Structure 1
Amino acid sequence: MHNAVSIVGCPSYGVDDVSLSIGASLHPIGGIGAVVKPGMRTIVIPDLTGTHSRVVRAVVEAVEGAGGAPVIGYSPDGGAGTLRRLLAKTGIQDVIDECGCESVCLDDDTEMIPAPGALTFRRLMVAREVLDADAVICLPTLKSTCLNGYSGAVSFLCHYMPRAARIAYRRHVCSDPALYADLLLDVHATVPPSLSIMEGIAGIRGPDGPGFIMASTSSTVLDYTAAAAVGLDPLSVPTIGRAYGRGEGPGSLSEIRVFGTPPPGFSPGDGVVHPAGREKGPSLAVRLADRTLAARPLIDAERCTGCGVCADLCPTGAIRMKASALPRIRVAECIRCLRCQERCPADAVVVGLPLLARLFR
């Protein structure tokens, strides 16, 4: 049932709520046993800046229950040191220790593989752990980005690629949302995950989020349904619109088999529908307003240690380090992906408004 998606309400991060919701979301699409067989080495890739440790634990335990060998893998923007810090900070290291499963940095061993039919690059650099695994389970979170307006299952596949390759690819395509979408879809078409389980407990709306868990063996089907569920026009999301244009994803909810018991008030396709992004570049007036009024990352001088991590990770090179000075963010080059904020070891990057915007408040 590659066109199927399961939706189950999950009101909180309580242990029982999460465990029951994960199990219930997998049941209509064949259960974890449809993907994981006894003895299969299964890479579980969480979003270490979003996926709750209890969701990771529930998936790891489900894999173990099916007789598989779960391995938690991730490719952080800051390398192995950042991975250790994130695992500890998120509580996922406790899951690893208590469940006795293995963890790997997906940057450690990579391979350049052919990408037949790709629209961006003829060859893609992918983690060998992903290529050698018997099954791959991705755990994206429902959230928004400044580049695509929505981040979900297809966008999450950037973590298949090692840090250096990911940054290099982004530098080539991040100024063009459609081209970036094609890159992610090329990865998806070349090395699709076995299963994607999306956490939307808090999600795009924060603490008062939609409150659901979604699961599907198709990342494009999952993304279309999730975007519709939070009131977006799915086809305005670059990854979803391009997937439909390429014949790799649905163009309407009528093409999707939706299973499960959604949370109260959940009704995909109903209510106000908002466009999620622009295919074409913004006008001069929009660019000026964006530069002078829009929220953007700012450096907290009291916390900044000048370590340079933010500059190393910036996909567009918008952050420059100056000797004996704070990092300088070039507004015209910043795409507000907020990776600098997510990865700063000193929590010195904050999101704030420019002076002109504050004057109008």
Structure 2
Amino acid sequence: MTKVALCACPDYDTANVASAVDRAVGLCGGMETFVRPGQRVLLKPNMLSAAPLEQRVTTDPAVVRAVGKLVLKAGGRIIIGDSPAIDKVSRISRVIGMKEVADELGADLIEFCRPTLAKTPEGSIYHALELEETALTADVVINLPKLKTHCMMLLTMGVKNLFGTVVGPRKSQWHMHAGADRIMFADLLLDICRTVKPALTILDGVWGMQGRGPNNGTPWHSGFLAASRDALAMDLALAPLLGAHPANFPLYDAAARRGFVRSDGSDTQMVGDDPNGLIPKDFQLPVLESVMPVPGFVSGLICRHLTSRPVQDPDLCRNCGKCAAICPPGSLRFVAAHRAVIDHLTCIRCYCCQEVCPANAIHFKTGALVGIAERLRAVMPH
């Protein structure tokens, strides 16, 4: 049975975080269980963008510091790395204070830039994946996600955080290949997680992000840390506590179809603090917009009205061009300053443009069929 540890942590005070991390890791067996002297240990935080810490976009450096000190105590040698969707690791680390933590720990701070072809485990959907070499060759990988919502996948926690081991522009390629179908993309995330095989996942849930995450939501004080040997088990145990019904969580759907999880949750044991008295009940999940494909014979006009589609607010746009640069099918282009044109016929509804926009200038307009489906879902029993 897999343990998922839940420990109260009211804020990012150094002593409070160190105490909560130490307790959570202890409930999972202690850092010495995972790290032996001399081993290279990759710490993989969420470093999505160079947003101020107060926006709660990235894993807080206080959590990385506390985990890193336990690794050093166990005799490990630390590497901190990610491949952000927005900005560079060097800039992000300066803005959020991760560089100071890396210096304090004597850790190498790297941007993933060496894609390596890796064979996936038996039972995978994809037979091989190109992932960051460091994530494949490190003796130990410790996954340090941030608790956030995600407009395509509902939530981004342990499993989704490992998409950061896909290097640079290959993220867009995968969005183009699998991003038009939630379950297909969830299958990809599961295969990445099973290939990287993090020894331990520790979730930064002291402050999370709710609403239209993972970059443009609003901060939410959740007051806990979670830890588990199994990132998937942790995600699926926490999702219902955050108000996410399994039927609406693509990761659960994909995992259940592949036999990775028991529907009654009997393969997971929650330990530590009582979640009923710890996790607030006011977490705001995003509305999952449509990624449903439309048959080829449907006309462009009808297609535009049937399916949800990205819409730009030029008044909020900063003219940074990040949305156009990341768009996998090249459906978005600027025709004037602060004015984008989106080809909704080629758009695959992957949410990359919304995710990377630093000004929250892109939202999705719900299509007619999606609106009907959502109303039916609301009145039907789960």
| Same fold? TM cut 0.5 | yes
SS at match of 2:277: coil
Match of 1:112 among 104, 110, 117: 117
Give, in whole Å, the separation in 1 of the partners of 2:79 and 2:314. Answer: 36
Which runs of no fewer than 5 residues in structure 1 stay unpaired? Answer: 355-361
Structure 2 residue 71 is matched with structure 1 residue 67: no
Give, in whole Å, the separation in 1 of the partners of 2:274 and 2:342. Answer: 42
**What fraction of aligned residue pairs are identical, expressed as a percent?**
29
Shift of 1:251: 2.4
Q: What corresponds to 1:89 in structure 2?
A: 95
Aligned pairs for 1:138-153 (under 5 A) are 138-153=143-158
Shift of 1:37: 1.1
Q: What corresponds to 1:303 in structure 2?
A: 318
Give, in whole Å, the separation in 1 of the partners of 2:308 and 2:247. Answer: 27
**Aligned CA distance change for structure 1 residues 10 and 335 (closer, same or farther; 3 Å):** farther
One-letter code aligned to 2:169: A
Summarize deviations over 1:254-300 as a string: whole Å, max 9, x none.
321111114662479x99999985999399999848748xx965345
For the 8 Å contact 1:300–1:348, the answer to whether it is kept is no
Taking structure 2 as the reference length, the TM-score comes to 0.78
Aligned pairs for 1:1-361 (under 5 A) are 3-49=2-48, 50-78=58-86, 82-107=88-113, 109-117=114-122, 119-205=124-210, 206-262=218-274, 265-266=277-278, 281=292, 288=305, 291=308, 298-300=313-315, 303-305=318-320, 308-322=321-335, 326-330=339-343, 333=347, 335=349, 337=351, 339-340=352-353, 343=356, 347-350=358-361
Summarize deviations over 1:197-235 as a string: whole Å, max 9, x none.
111122244544332100001011101111022121135
**Aligned CA distance change for structure 1 residues 287 and 8 (closer, same or farther; 3 Å):** farther
Give, in whole Å, the separation in 2 of the partners of 1:254 and 1:267. Answer: 21
For the 8 Å contact 2:316–2:360, the answer to whether it is kept is no
SS at match of 2:238: helix
* Aligned residue pairs, count: 343
Taking structure 1 as the reference length, the TM-score comes to 0.82
One-letter code aligned to 2:166: M
Shift of 1:195: 0.9
Give, in whole Å, the separation in 1 of the partners of 2:255 and 2:314. Answer: 37
Give, in whole Å, the separation in 2 of the partners of 1:184 and 1:203. Answer: 21
Which runs of no fewer than 5 residues in structure 2 stay unpaired? Answer: 49-57, 211-217, 366-382
Shift of 1:194: 1.0
Give, in whole Å, the separation in 2 of the partners of 1:167 and 1:275. Answer: 22
**Aligned CA distance change for structure 1 residues 352 and 159 (closer, same or farther; 3 Å):** closer
Shift of 1:83: 1.7
For the 8 Å contact 2:47–2:92, the answer to whether it is kept is yes
For the 8 Å contact 2:175–2:350, the answer to whether it is kept is no
Summarize deviations over 1:302-355 as a string: whole Å, max 9, x none.
7325xx333222345342244767443446637473x546656xx45535687x
Shift of 1:301: 6.6
Summarize deviations over 1:237-267 as a string: whole Å, max 9, x none.
1112211221223423332111111466247
Q: CA RMSD in A?
A: 3.5
SS at match of 2:239: helix
SS at match of 1:202: strand
Q: Mean Cα displacement is larger for which, 229-238 or 215-224?
A: 229-238
